[in-house]
Structure 1
């Protein structure tokens, strides 16, 4: 892991690159991805993984792709099949590869509609399964996978593994946004609830299909219909009274749920702290109404908007409910005085969120790092904050865990401390310190094998 972190440094010199490249077969590929090795530095016969890494980055040569397409090692051909922008003749060769794993990998990644359609008709079921999830497959080919995708020869055995492959192929095709809605809608009453859930997640179905899915016996299917941007307000109003909380929560996450429905859901349904799409799209008038609601949870949802008018943002920062204050604490634009007032009012409950505020100055971060009682999450936020000073970072190192690892990687950490951390008993701390841009190059050179 230390070698990997060193390979990703931007300040490597030619001698250091050469020393790292000589360590093993994998490191040249890492150096190629990091930009330290280019076409002129790589011989595909010597460093095949590095050449494939450059092809994957779009920086390799077409003749390399042709070379690997004919390579006897199927693992290299399979890796090639996932590379973007391959020449048409190379894709043709990979599509006809005798190893189905190679063709399946191409089926996952090709952006050519003609190649994708060809692979959707491949005689191997695993290749067809891979193609079913590729959005480059034309709608007609996806419809064929849904209505008659299995070209088994008459009399061929169909064991449990094959049935599982068939089911998974259907699931992938139904989940593919490019699948034609009429072919997907035909599965609204399929016996498999997993397939019905995939149907309920499709964004382009007719309204009557969503209405039928809203009455499905499985809560997970109803929840998918409730959350689907294609379902209308009638579905939202119907499912807002669903007995299952996961369904009501899904209604709240619909991007166009009527605002009055959302307000009714807030007191009875735990919605979580993440921003809701409907709140993100709310008008200024709706936000003002929500911020004045008697329900703290609705005020909290409004407080998650990071583009609130300053006066509304500041009003929510002074909210007496800690959940509302936590939601608004990371917002840009809050003054250090308001952030300090939040900590004074709510204490440890808001420490981590205040520490995550991008405008928190170094002095405030140092105060938060010394706060008693301390909060591990606050130390983790401080340890990766760009405004953190050495004074703020040292308590994070003492805090242990992830905060210690993050602090070891922070460029504001004094060089002498970084050097000491290279001998830390925790491997993750050593790796973080090795990747710290403030580590003196001379020390790094001494550490190279």
Structure 2
């Protein structure tokens, strides 16, 4: 059964769609079927060939759809009347594309949700920000505190707000002046809050804290919100490092953990935290790019899998640690930061390591000198060859030799090599039994031929890319519109080679 809305979404993105069909889709997008129309509208808004009238129609339907046309020059901000299209004006302000006089008009909007969105917009005039800070709706104020860019005077009002929830949101905001973040962290210089989300009377927040923030409680001191405020301030990179360091020995691990994650602290603080008994603190410390060699070496002896997994991606990792437990840690697929930054001499040393794992890690770099690359491609271990196989510059003969020598373990990486020719890709697709990784790599490969792509169709993940590939024979596209996978359907409908007759019969 054809997924009609997914066909329409794909057609809305099809660059070959005739103007008359674009107009029909715009009419459908703003019609009565709100859910399906919204999906199609969001795709249409990204088209470069919309008319000004069509772009305005979509913007009136959903304000955020004005952003794309304005960025591409199809609309100007002057085309948007903030009184008639307040949601479009808010979307443009949020992207920094609005006009200076709009905030003063929108701050009086009777809809609280719009004032909440306005509060999160960057660069609001001080008088507008002050008005939002005094809004009778707490959700408007917390939006300004957490996401807005309040001027210093307004930020001071938010930091000293009588509601603890506003203070918490202010502590999250990186544009708040450092001195205010210090005050929120320590409580020094601020009056005590009068209420919090637990003990307060605001119906919109009274139910919120106990259910969405486990352990929320208040005995009159608003203790859980105060604790969360300190956590937020400690994690805020704008909070002065000296004030953050004071909490390295705090009894609460919830406060020590953000300290451990903070770069720019004295080495002595990191050394103290490296002896912390709580795994979460050590995990944060191991992932902190500001820790030095001594702390890294101490953490390498912890033998915690998560600590090691974070250390292996540390940009200052001593390379000799790769020969030990750190080098065997979970590392992901990308080249490691420290190996990416390695000097030519260090690369040579790593590539000549007696440890297979070390050679495999350096083989992930895609800017290796040709001599090093070729030596790794000839490595006797399949793990190393697999890591280097997708490196550009290996050439067809070497790729074939790698595939012949190591077989299935390296075939997907050989198929992903940018220099793999179409004939080789066709051969790899015909491997019996099929290798899923090969099919998915070939389906995305720019050198894939029609026959190679047809061989990838049995695999659904590969089929999603095959349906969008420019080399796919056009005759296959109508059949893919009936595919059970919606991503395949959308890709096929968006293919510029889709026959015009099929586009016509798919129109709403």
TM-score, normalised via structure 2 length: 0.78
Partner of 2:369: 309
Partner of 2:471: 412
Matches within 5 A, 1:45-444: 48-112=86-150, 114=152, 115-148=154-187, 151-153=192-194, 160=217, 163-265=223-325, 269=329, 271-400=331-460, 402-440=461-499, 443-444=502-503
Displacement after TM superposition at 1:363 (Å): 2.8
Partner of 1:447: 506
Gap change, CA 1:140 and 1:429, over 3 Å in 2: same
Question: Is the 8 Å Cα contact of residues 266 and 298 (structure 1) preserved in structure 2?
Answer: no
Displacement after TM superposition at 1:441 (Å): 5.8
Displacement after TM superposition at 1:217 (Å): 0.2
Question: Is the 8 Å Cα contact of residues 315 and 337 (structure 2) preserved in structure 1?
Answer: yes
Q: Supply the distance in 1 between the matched residues of 2:504 and 2:192 (Cα, whole angstroms).
A: 60
Question: Is the 8 Å Cα contact of residues 453 and 472 (structure 2) preserved in structure 1?
Answer: yes
Question: Is the 8 Å Cα contact of residues 10 and 492 (structure 2) preserved in structure 1?
Answer: no
Gap change, CA 1:88 and 1:108, over 3 Å in 2: same
SS at match of 2:386: helix
Question: Is the 8 Å Cα contact of residues 276 and 282 (structure 2) preserved in structure 1?
Answer: yes
| RMSD of aligned Cα (Å) | 3.1
Displacement after TM superposition at 1:259 (Å): 2.2
Query: Structure 1: where are the runs of 5+ without partners?
Result: none
Q: Supply the distance in 2 between the matched residues of 1:381 and 1:106 (Cα, whole angstroms).
A: 46
Partner of 2:30: 22
Displacement after TM superposition at 1:306 (Å): 1.3
Displacement after TM superposition at 1:324 (Å): 1.1
* 2:78 is the alignment partner of 1:38: no
Comparing 154-163 and 5-14, the one that deviates more: 154-163
Q: Supply the distance in 2 between the matched residues of 1:31 and 1:16 (Cα, whole angstroms).
A: 18
Gap change, CA 1:31 and 1:369, over 3 Å in 2: farther
Displacement after TM superposition at 1:67 (Å): 3.7
Partner of 2:52: none
SS at match of 1:380: helix
Gap change, CA 1:263 and 1:31, over 3 Å in 2: same
Q: Which has the higher contact order (CA 8 A, sep 6+)?
A: 2
Question: Is the 8 Å Cα contact of residues 132 and 176 (structure 1) preserved in structure 2?
Answer: yes
TM-score, normalised via structure 1 length: 0.88
Displacement after TM superposition at 1:189 (Å): 2.0
Gap change, CA 1:394 and 1:50, over 3 Å in 2: farther
Comparing 73-82 and 146-155, the one that deviates more: 146-155
Comparing 330-339 and 13-22, the one that deviates more: 13-22
Displacement after TM superposition at 1:414 (Å): 2.7
Displacement after TM superposition at 1:180 (Å): 0.8
Question: Is the 8 Å Cα contact of residues 5 and 431 (structure 1) preserved in structure 2?
Answer: yes
Comparing 82-91 and 371-380, the one that deviates more: 82-91
Gap change, CA 1:242 and 1:18, over 3 Å in 2: closer
Gap change, CA 1:153 and 1:95, over 3 Å in 2: closer
Q: Residue deviations 1:2-48, cap 9 Å, x none? A: 35555555566462464244234843246434428634765556655
Comparing 262-271 and 333-342, the one that deviates more: 262-271
Q: Supply the distance in 2 between the matched residues of 1:448 and 1:45 (Cα, whole angstroms).
A: 34
Question: Is the 8 Å Cα contact of residues 229 and 256 (structure 1) preserved in structure 2?
Answer: yes
Gap change, CA 1:423 and 1:251, over 3 Å in 2: closer
Displacement after TM superposition at 1:315 (Å): 1.0
Comparing 177-186 and 102-111, the one that deviates more: 102-111
SS at match of 1:398: coil
Query: Structure 2: where are the runs of 5+ without partners?
Result: 42-57, 201-215
Comparing 206-215 and 120-129, the one that deviates more: 120-129
Question: Is the 8 Å Cα contact of residues 121 and 149 (structure 2) preserved in structure 1?
Answer: no
Displacement after TM superposition at 1:263 (Å): 3.0
Displacement after TM superposition at 1:220 (Å): 2.7
